[in-house]
Amino acid sequence: MRTAPTILHLDMDAFFASVEQASKPSLRGKAVIVGGLGPRGVVATCSYEARVFGVHSAMPMAQARRLAPNAAYLVPRFGLYRSISDQVMRLLRALSPLVEPLSLDEAFVDLEAGGAAWDEESALLAGVRLRTDIRAVTGLTGSVGLAASKMLAKIASEQAKPDGLVLIEPGTERALLGPMPVRTLPGVGPATGDHLRRAGITTVEEIAEAGEDELVRLLGKAHGHALYAMALARDDRPVVAERETKSVSVEDTYDVDIHDRIRVALEVQRLADRCVRRLRGAGLSGRTIVLKVRRYDFSTLTRSETLRGPTDDQAVVREAAARLLDSVDTTGGVRLLGVGVSGLADYTQEDLFAQAVGERPEGPAEEEAPESADGATRPVERRWPAGHDVLHTEHGHGWVQGSGLGRVTVRFETPDSVPGRVRTFRTDDPALEPADPLPLVARRPDEAADAEGQDRSSA
Ligand code: TTP
Ligand code: MG
Ligand code: MG
């Protein structure tokens, strides 16, 4: 393990909600909840002002409404979040070629690899500067953790939240980790957590005290071994650049084609287990199980199955892989088998996206009033999702505060205006149009040129 805290972990604060507050001056300092607003919707995230009411990610929206009835409820705008995420990732790539994004709002950076830092002092400086730059470019805050390993850097950024920076001095890791709950460690989900608790292990210190043999006995060789190392703060995982890998997979090529169907099934199980070990080792879980089969004639096929939720459970992956194998003809023999799990880092966003798509209003193309049989045009009810931007021919740019009963309420304000006024229109008012989001921070022309220059140099 390195001896300087030169691994940086960044995570933006209340990301979706902060973007909404930055784009809507009237919501700054207020409880803002972003998520699916339909009957089965869940909270994607909420502002820190909403968290004091007990609202949190993944909570059913109905429950959030009971806890915080006066909050602003908005539908997510993924395109906007992605464009802000791109700005943030560009700033990280200016620090180092080794940037590992974990989701839209989160990434590891190896500062040493980029020459941006080599010791405690330079790491701290890089972290402080980064936070300033993010603020200047996006108008948002992100929290930064600095440590000598990925695990500790991530724990540090969590401690720094919101809007802070924490550096964990090398050498102090074990003392810091000791009293923390086992769930702090990467790869410990609810199932593993329960399992450990039944064995009387609730803190990281207790994992260390239990010893490696006991951990292996409880959790199996790979997982037990990995977890014990983490509990001792031993984490050598490198920062992997451009982890576009939205999947973890393993495969084997066989010297001699396998014909025996039972043997094929056993190999698939073995691969499933190996894949799960890799997955857990990386502290990941995924929703889609993929089976790859190359047959004697080099014809290759893949089959996949998507689960209801992400998993890192060996039995679940084994079973899915076995089901997939059922649908593949292997007579003639196989020369390669592979098992993978995909749908990893961004799963929460994708889940919510699927849900939001289901709730999305009809596109503008379908908004034209169709002709009825007698040639008269019937008005079509247009839908105005809460939080989305609109343009009014007279009042300018605003956003939908609410709609229903043939009326839509719009607040007219822009990211750099003062809090705006509210007006109500008929939903079919021809003066009102859906609009694209405005930039959160107005860019000067010279800044736009700078950003392009950065793109080129990192390409
Ligand atoms: P997080 O970084 O987990 O949360 P956050 O940025 O909102 O708040 P924090 O300050 O605690 O980091 O997730 C980033 C974004 O991903 C979040 O703004 C919304 C989205 N998300 C979901 O859509 N569903 C979820 O269950 C979670 C956890 C996040
Ligand atoms: Mg975040
Ligand atoms: Mg995050």
The per-residue pLDDT for range 356-389, each reduced to its tens digit, is: 333 333 333 233 333 334 444 445 556 899 999 9
Are 66 and 41 in the same domain? yes
pLDDT (0 to 100) of residue 187: 76
| CATH number for the domain that contains residue 7 | 3.30.70.270
Atom of ligand 1 nearest to the CA of 35: 23
Average pLDDT estimate for 430-437: 96
Q: Residue 252 belongs to what domain range?
A: 247-344
In the chain, how many domains are there? 3
Which amino acid is residue 325, in one-letter code?
L
For ligand 1, say whether the CB of 293 is within 6 Å of any of its atoms: no
- Is 358 domain-assigned? no
Residue nearest to atom 5 of ligand 1 (CA): 14
For ligand 1, say whether the CB of 12 is within 6 Å of any of its atoms: yes
- Is 366 domain-assigned? no
| Cα 342 from chain centroid (whole Å) | 14
Contacts with 178 (C-beta within 8 Å, 6 or more apart), sequence order: 203, 204, 205, 208
For ligand 1, say whether the CB of 264 is within 6 Å of any of its atoms: no
Last residue of a domain, one of 243, 259, 280: 243
Q: Ligand 2 centroid vs 270 CA: distance in angstroms?
A: 36
Half-sphere exposure of residue 213: CA atoms within 13 angstroms, side-chain side? 0
| CATH number for the domain that contains residue 326 | 3.30.1490.100
Last residue of a domain, one of 220, 243, 266: 243
Average pLDDT estimate for 329-356: 65
Ligand number with the minimum distance to the CA of 106 = 3
Are 235 and 253 in the same domain? no
Q: Per the annotation, does 312 bind a ligand?
A: no
Atom of ligand 1 nearest to the CA of 16: 18
- Is 350 domain-assigned? no
Confidence of residue 39 (pLDDT cuts 50, 70, 90): confident
Are 173 and 37 in the same domain? yes
Are 426 and 325 in the same domain? no
Segment 164-208, tens digit of pLDDT: 999 999 999 999 999 999 999 987 878 889 999 999 999 999 999
Does residue 146 have a pLDDT over 90? yes
- Is 34 domain-assigned? yes
Are 294 and 411 in the same domain? no
Q: Per the annotation, does 119 bind a ligand?
A: no
- Is 354 domain-assigned? no
- Is 357 domain-assigned? no
For ligand 1, mutation pick of 32, 42, 348 (most atoms within 8 Å of CB):
348
Residue nearest to atom 16 of ligand 1 (CA): 349
Does residue 27 have a pLDDT over 90? yes
Segment 225-246, tens digit of pLDDT: 889 999 999 998 899 886 555 7
| CATH number for the domain that contains residue 393 | 2.30.30.140
| Cα 271 from chain centroid (whole Å) | 27
Are 18 and 63 in the same domain? yes
For ligand 1, say whether the CB of 108 is within 6 Å of any of its atoms: no
Are 124 and 216 in the same domain? yes
Are 308 and 401 in the same domain? no
Catalytic residues: 106
Are 323 and 262 in the same domain? yes
pLDDT (0 to 100) of residue 355: 31
Segment 72-104, tens digit of pLDDT: 999 989 889 989 999 999 999 999 999 998 888
Does residue 120 have a pLDDT over 70? yes
Are 149 and 219 in the same domain? yes
Are 73 and 201 in the same domain? yes
Does residue 318 have a pLDDT over 90? yes
The answer to whether the predicted template modeling score (pTM) of the entire model surpasses 0.85 is no
Q: Ligand 2 centroid vs 157 CA: distance in angstroms?
A: 10
Residue nearest to atom 21 of ligand 1 (CA): 44
- Is 373 domain-assigned? no
Q: Among the ranges 128-142, 287-301, 351-365, 379-393, which has the highest mean pLDDT value?
A: 128-142
Half-sphere exposure of residue 214: CA atoms within 13 angstroms, side-chain side? 11
Are 457 and 407 in the same domain? yes
Q: Ligand 2 centroid vs 18 CA: distance in angstroms?
A: 10
For ligand 1, say whether the CB of 14 is within 6 Å of any of its atoms: yes
Q: 């089969």: which residue's tokens? A: 293
Last residue of a domain, one of 317, 344, 371: 344
Q: What is the 3-state secondary structure (H, E, C) of the chain?
A: CCCCCCEEEEEECCHHHHHHHHHCHHHCCCCEEEECCCCCCEEEEECHHHHCCCCCCCCEHHHHHHHCCCCEEECCCHHHHHHHHHHHHHHHHCCCCCEEEEECCEEEEECCCCCCCCCHHHHHHHHHHHHHHHHHHHCCCEEEEEECCHHHHHHHHHHHCCCCEEECCCCCHHHHHCCCEHHHCCCCCHHHHHHHHHCCCCEHHHHHHHCHHHHHHHHCHHHHHHHHHHHCCCCCCCCCCCCCCCEEEEEEEEEEEECCHHHHHHHHHHHHHHHHHHHHHCCCCEEEEEEEEEECCCCEEEEEEEEEEEECCHHHHHHHHHHHHHCCCCCCCEEEEEEEEECCCCHHHHHHHHHHHHHCCCCHHHHCCCECCCCCECCCCCCCCCCCEEEECCCEEEEEEEEECCEEEEEECCCCCCCCEEEEEECCCCCEEECCCCCCCCCCHHHHHHHHHHHHHHC
Residue nearest to atom 24 of ligand 1 (CA): 44
- Is 362 domain-assigned? no
- Cα gap 43→21, rounded to integer Å: 16
